[in-house]
A and B are shown apart, each in its own frame.
Chain A
Amino acid sequence: MSSRRAALLSLVLLFVFSACEWNLWGIITRPTVEERVRENLSGTPPAPGPVAVDPDSFRFAVLSDPQIQHDYQTSLGRFKQEVADRGIDFFCVLGDLTHDATADEVDSIKLQLDRVGAPYYATIGNHDLYQADGWERFKENYGPSCYVVVIADRIKFIFLDTADGTLGPTQFGWFEEELQETRYTKIALTHFPVYDGEKPKMWRLASDAERIKVQSLLERHGAYAWCAGHIHGLRHAQVGPVHHFTCGAMAPGNLDYGNPGYLLFTFAHDSLSWQFVDLDWR
């Protein structure tokens, strides 16, 4: 490569990274999923506790990717109205809370999530690690990125950290242990999808073998669903008895795979039902 071409390539790369506000060194030196999970499972920070709901009838929403940027726009204001209209008891946010993980974005999205006015749980996405202190800020605001919550002694929510596009050895072992519980309906919630029922793209969990192992565990232990974000759209695929959802995005405007929206679950009469809510089609 000539020196002129090398200089041009360097300029292009510099432009790309300066335009995104990503901290390249922070990305390279970030704690790996293995390190984050070990920290999570050590009990520091502590996992959030269960919210109080009517054990015979409750509603919760699963949403993802608000991906707030420097204009601080999201669709969470519209979602706040949904919470009131539909009687949503709590909600889960599946990562990519911010676009660049800057301090301003982190503070702003925390404020917007708190203003929705319902309890919520969060896990981490890849965009939340785009600054050197991304993981520290996430922990301060939301606690661990992989943990378990049992709601109303009915549903076990297993939050997983897949921000790196993979689970890692410690989390895989822990996930399998958590799935072995037979008393509850089990739902895995995380950032990366495994199957999405559409033309395959690269926005899914890593390798062929990893996805097959995940599906095998979900089937063997009778899990109800794998809920994910990362792909900005509302998608559903059923593989064997397991539902695979991508739960839409709360970023504003036209998204790459659909409109802003969320996945709404209703527990009533001892059974769980679901529906997608497209915010632009209401």
Chain B
Amino acid sequence: MRLKNAFLLLTFLLATGQAEVVASFLLGYRGEPGVESKLLAALAVDVKPVSFLRTDAGLAFNLFENNGLGAAALGVAAELYQPLGLTLRLAAQHQQWNDWRAGENRALAAIEAGPWHGLEAGIGLVRRVPLFGDRYWSPFGWSGDAAEWNYLYRLRWKFIQQENWWLRTGFSSHDRFTARNPQQFPLVVDGAYRLKDDVELLARAGTAVVGFSGGLPAFHELELSVGLTYEF
């Protein structure tokens, strides 16, 4: 019932124009040697109904490998202490690989802080539940033989902030659709350029180092994406 009330309130705020809404569309590529090589198309909406709360939802589709729906995500972030930008973020993710008949559901919780002088940091936990076989596509499967807890971390630095554009770098074990495991150390660079008052061009490049537990580190994956955001 509470969830229903929250949804109704959100709808009301949207209808009356009180909520800030940002929609984004991204096209990208993800490649991991021997594992997968695919194009991605992602749609997402961020809604800020009140100043201290943000909700988000997204869908991602795979092309050329594991075709079809690739991921879905829902999240909510509540600002707990404004001077530090201290934020509690909760999210649920579903990812699936249709060719492999495998999927994974994840529940994430993280505490984030910042930005201070362009620096953001966060830590958290994710419960990941891999699913295989007939129920791989279900976002409601929350038990499985390979379920486990992983930690989450994030440290990003917006090192250039100009009037119309910015650049950021750092590492982040999670984003809207993914949560990495302890064997991966992800690195990312992203940026945005404001094309109009309400339109931004976004670009992102990411990789992950693997093999460091064996002292033989190597860059293992490549993620590239570019897209637009529109503020309603």
A binding-site residues for B, Cβ under 8 Å: 22, 27, 30, 32, 34, 125-127, 129-130, 163-173, 192, 195, 199-213, 215-217, 219-220, 230, 237-240
Bound Cα distance A192, B216 (Å): 13
Mark contacts of B184-212 with chain A using CB atoms, 8 A cut-off: 1 yes-contact digit, 0 otherwise: 10000000000000000000000010111
Partner of B132, one of A130, A166, A206, A219: A219
On whether A237 and B181 interact (CB within 8 A), knowing A126-B211, A126-B214, A207-B221, the answer reads no
Residues of A within 8 A of B211 (CB): 126, 164-166, 206
B212 close to A202 (CB less than 8 A): yes
A238 close to B145 (CB less than 8 A): yes
Q: Is the interface of B mostly helix, strand, loop or mixed?
A: mixed
Residues of B within 8 A of A216 (CB): 97, 100-102, 132
Residues of A within 8 A of B35 (CB): 172, 207, 209-210, 213
A212 close to B97 (CB less than 8 A): yes
Residues of A within 8 A of B97 (CB): 209, 212-213, 216
Mark contacts of B133-153 with chain A using CB atoms, 8 A cut-off: 1 yes-contact digit, 0 otherwise: 100000000000110111000
Partner of A200, one of B104, B132, B150, B220: B150
* 29-46 of chain B: CB within 8 A of chain A: 32-36
A195 close to B34 (CB less than 8 A): no
A166 close to B212 (CB less than 8 A): no
Partner of B216, one of A34, A165, A207, A220: A165
Residues of A within 8 A of B94 (CB): none
Could you say which of B33, B36, B101, B133 has the most chain A C-beta atoms within 10 Å of its C-beta?
B33
Residues of B within 8 A of A129 (CB): 216
Which residue of the partner chain A has the closest CB to B213?
Answer: A202
Number of A-B residue pairs at CB separation under 8 A: 136
Partner of A206, one of B148, B178, B179, B220: B220
Bound Cα distance A163, B101 (Å): 27
Bound Cα distance A127, B211 (Å): 12
Mark contacts of B95-119 with chain A using CB atoms, 8 A cut-off: 1 yes-contact digit, 0 otherwise: 0010011101000000000000000
Indicate if B161 sits at the interface (CB-CB under 8 A). no
Partner of A240, one of B132, B182, B216, B221: B132
Cβ distance B96 to chain A, nearest Cβ, rounded Å: 10
B181 close to A207 (CB less than 8 A): yes
Could you say which of A170, A209, A238, A240 has the most chain B C-beta atoms within 10 Å of its C-beta?
A209
Cβ distance A182 to chain B, nearest Cβ, rounded Å: 19
B34 close to A171 (CB less than 8 A): yes
Residues of A within 8 A of B180 (CB): 207-208
Cβ distance A69 to chain B, nearest Cβ, rounded Å: 15
